Structure 1
Amino acid sequence: MPRKTAGGATPAPRLALRAPQGVTRVAEPRLLDGDHREGEHYERTSFDGGELAGITLQECLLEGVRLNDTDLRGARFLECALEDTYAPVFRAPRSSWRETSLRSTRWGSAELYDSRFDAVHLDGGKLDYVNLRSSQLTDVLVSDCIIGELDLTGVRATRLALRDCTIGTLTLDGAQLKDADLRTSTFRSIHGLDGLRGATIDEYQLQLLAPFLAESMGLRIEG
Structure 2
Amino acid sequence: MPPRSTRSTTTAPRLSLRPPRAVSRVEEPRLLDGDHREGEHYERLTLDGEDLAGITLQECILEGVGLNDAELRGARFIECSFEDLYAPVFRASRSSWRETSLRSTRWGSAELYDSRLDGVHLDGGKLDYVNLRSSQLSDVLISGCIIGELDLTGVKATRVALQDCTVGTLTLDGARLKDVDLRTSSFRSINGLDGLRGATIDEYQLQLLAPFLAESMGLRIEG
Give the TM-score normalised by structure 1.
Answer: 0.96
In the alignment, the residues of structure 2 paired with residue 63 and residue 124 of structure 1 have an alpha-carbon distance, to the nearest angstrom, of: 15
Partner of 2:50: 50
Q: What are the Cα deviations for residues 168-218 of structure 1, in whole angstroms up to 9, with x where unaligned?
A: 000000000001000000000000001000010000100110111011011
Q: Which residue of 2 aligns with 1:26?
A: 26
| Amino acid corresponding to residue 162 of structure 2 in structure 1 | L
Q: SS of 1:141's equivalent?
A: strand
Checking the alignment, whether the CA contact within 8 Å between 1:23 and 1:61 is kept in structure 2 is no
Instruction: Tell me which residue corresponds to 2:149.
Output: 149
In the alignment, what sits opposite 1:3? none
Aligned amino acid, residue 64 of structure 2:
G
What is the CA deviation profile of residues 126-157 of structure 1, one whole-angstrom value per residue up to 9, with x for unaligned ones? 00000000000000000000000000000000
Q: How many angstroms apart in 2 are the aligned matches of 1:118 and 1:37?
A: 20
**Which secondary structure state, in structure 1, belongs to the residue aligned with residue 21 of structure 2?**
coil
Query: Which residue does the alignment assign to 2:176?
Result: 176
Matched AA of 2:55 = I
Given the two structures, how large is their TM-score scaled by the length of structure 2? 0.96
1:209 maps to a residue whose letter is L
Which has the higher relative contact order, 1 or 2, with Cα contacts under 8 A spaced 6 or more apart?
Answer: 1
- In 1, Cα distance between equivalents of 2:22 and 2:171: 40
CA distance in 2, matches of 1:186, 1:62: 30
Where does the alignment leave 5 or more consecutive residues of structure 2 unmatched? 1-6
| 1:166 and 2:166 aligned | yes
Per-residue CA deviation, residues 38-66 of structure 1 (Å, 9 max, x unaligned), is 00000000100000000000000000000
Please report how far the alpha carbon of residue 219 of structure 1 lies from its aligned counterpart in structure 2 after TM superposition.
1.4
Deviations along 1:60-91, one digit per CA (max 9) or x if unpaired, are 00000000000000000000001000000000
Displacement of 1:24? 1.1
Q: What is the deviation of 1:22?
A: 4.1
SS in 2 for 1:210: helix
**Identical pairs, percent:** 83
Q: Hey, which bits of structure 1, 4+ residues long, moved more than 3 A?
A: none
Provide the aligned length of Structure 1 versus Structure 2.
217
Are 1:79 and 2:79 counterparts? Answer: yes
